[in-house]
Amino acid sequence: MHSLIIHMSSATQRRSNVEVLLQTLPGASLIEAVRGADAGVTPAPGDVHQPPYPFSIGAGEVGCFLSHRACWQRIVTEGWEYALVAEDDLALDPVLWTHVQALIETHATADSFIRIPAKTHELALRELASNGPCTLMLPRVIGLQTVLQVVGRTAAQRLLAATEILDRPVDTFLQMHWVHGQTVQTILPNGVRELTADLGGSTIQKKTRTSGKLMREIKRWRYRRAVAARPQA
């Protein structure tokens, strides 16, 4: 098994955690995170796909999306059947990770996209397999965040073809199975945590003025309701 860890070499406060991941994840190597401000990519307005995304995306979100696309391209170029794609603020529970890795090795294929999220909000539409306390399932609504996932070669090709134009953050796009045509599975529980706060905070979040927070939350609620109305089958 191969693993790609997205890391910006200038983010020195995350280096110690990256060293841990290099020793923990199977066949691990680094892939340089894209700096969105230097990428020369202008995102489209959020109406390329339905439902429309109600917010503009910033340079950090562009960089995050392009970093994941670079991982997908690496998987295709190398001809790997699948690989783990991790962000550099990932932390793993070693006990649960043994069961998660066993599920991956048994069930992942070139057609797989399997989320291993830090948040546990996803509800199973159907349970597919289990190992110890960990279950591989098809979630009704795909969750957010991209701290760790398994990406198969065919899945990577499908996602690359669907993301030549960026109009929303990568995790938000991945929810849209009706656009990219990729089935997305999830493993829960999994022992995954995000160390964002411990490692100096997020590199992509934007500040919102107090006066705009209420309207932003209303728009977010409306958007998430529209996504939830399109569950995986």
> For 55-80, how does the pLDDT look when each residue is reduced to its tens digit (9 = 90+)?
999 999 999 999 999 999 999 999 99
Domain count of the chain?
1
Q: Is 188 a member of any domain?
A: yes
Cβ–Cβ under 8 Å, residues 24 and 91: no
Q: Extract the tokens encoding 205.
A: 């979040």
- Which amino acid, one-letter code, is at 44? A
Q: Is 215 a member of any domain?
A: yes
Residue, of 13 and 205, whose pLDDT is higher:
13
CATH code at 35? 3.90.550
189 prior amide bond cis, ω within 30: yes
Q: Is 59 a member of any domain?
A: yes
Using alpha carbons, list the distances in angstroms from residue 45 to 31, 35, 167, 181: 28, 20, 6, 22
pLDDT of residue 211: 64
Max CA separation in the chain (angstroms):
50
pLDDT of residue 213: 87
Q: Extract the tokens encoding 3.
A: 């693993």
Average pLDDT over residues 103-131: 97
pLDDT of residue 199: 72
Domain that holds residue 208: 2-228
Mean pLDDT of the chain: 94
Q: Is 75 a member of any domain?
A: yes
Average pLDDT over residues 91-112: 97
Q: Is 233 a member of any domain?
A: no
Q: Is 220 a member of any domain?
A: yes
Report which of 18, 110, 34 is spatially closest to residue 70, judged by C-alpha positions. Answer: 34
Percent of the chain exceeding pLDDT 70 equals: 95
- pLDDT band for position 197 (cuts 50, 70, 90): confident
Cβ–Cβ under 8 Å, residues 167 and 212: no
Q: Is 25 a member of any domain?
A: yes
Q: Is 195 a member of any domain?
A: yes
Q: What is the pTM of this model?
A: 0.93
Report which of 114, 95, 88 is spatially closest to residue 21, judged by C-alpha positions. Answer: 88
